Structure 1
Amino acid sequence: MTAGSDQELRSQIVTLLNSGLATDVFPRADTHEDVQEFVNELRAAGNDLKSKLRLAGFTLYPVDHGGIEQLCETCMYYKVHRRYCELPELNVPVEPDWSCRLWRI
């Protein structure tokens, strides 16, 4: 995927979320079991972007959970220079201040 297509996909994500796509922001993936459950759901969604965004609980803003501000930029799956989530089941370009319920330190 090229930087141009990454930006196009980011724009598509923004459009979907701003147009009212409901996402499962809570519950967050607080335990290993939660992570496994959400990852299995993402695998089942395949390449369906809307389903992936909904299941991952994407937001265009940081989410405060348990006193921790959870944003892509501080997640272990975030690739800084590409602005990208490398969690294999997501594998989408993101912005640093977005969030999802699979956030990990």
Structure 2
Amino acid sequence: MNNEQQHALLRKMAQLMRSGLETQTEPFPETEKEFAAILDELRKLDPNNVQGKMVISGFVDHPYGPDKQRCMECMYYLVHREWCDLPELAVPVDADWWCRLWRI
């Protein structure tokens, strides 16, 4: 994906969330088994189904939870690319977004 395509996809994702896309922010996976179950759901999707990825992974366009977690502090976030490097997601993300696959 080139830089222009990445920015277009980022804008599309932001617009979906602004438009009220309902995502599965709960339950947050507390165990590796629960985390793996979400990854299994994501693997069943067409890799180009970004909206499906967003719904299953629980994307929101703001810091989330009592600790105000965000992509910026997630182990999968690539700062210089503004990218989620979790293979099952592999999408551009804003530093202030969050999803339930967040990990430190």
Q: TM-score range by the shorter chain?
A: over 0.9
Q: Which residue of the partner structure matches residue 12 of structure 1?
A: 12
The answer to whether the Cα contact below 8 Å between 1:29 and 1:103 also exists between their aligned partners in 2 is no
* C-alpha displacement of 1:76: 0.3
Q: Which residue of the partner structure matches residue 24 of structure 1?
A: 24
TM-score relative to the length of structure 2: 0.94
Q: Which residue of the partner structure matches residue 78 of structure 2?
A: 79
1:51 paired with 2:61, answer no
> RMSD between aligned alpha carbons?
1.0
Q: Which has the higher strand share?
A: 1
Query: 5+ unaligned residues in a row in structure 2: which ranges?
Result: none
Residue identity in the other structure for 1:49? V
How many angstroms apart in 1 are the aligned matches of 2:11 and 2:60?
13
How many angstroms apart in 2 are the aligned matches of 1:86 and 1:46?
17
TM-score relative to the length of structure 1: 0.93
- 1:69 alignment partner, SS class: coil
Query: 5+ unaligned residues in a row in structure 1: which ranges?
Result: none
Q: Which residue of the partner structure matches residue 64 of structure 2?
A: 63
How many angstroms apart in 2 are the aligned matches of 1:85 and 1:45?
17
How many angstroms apart in 2 are the aligned matches of 1:12 and 1:102?
20
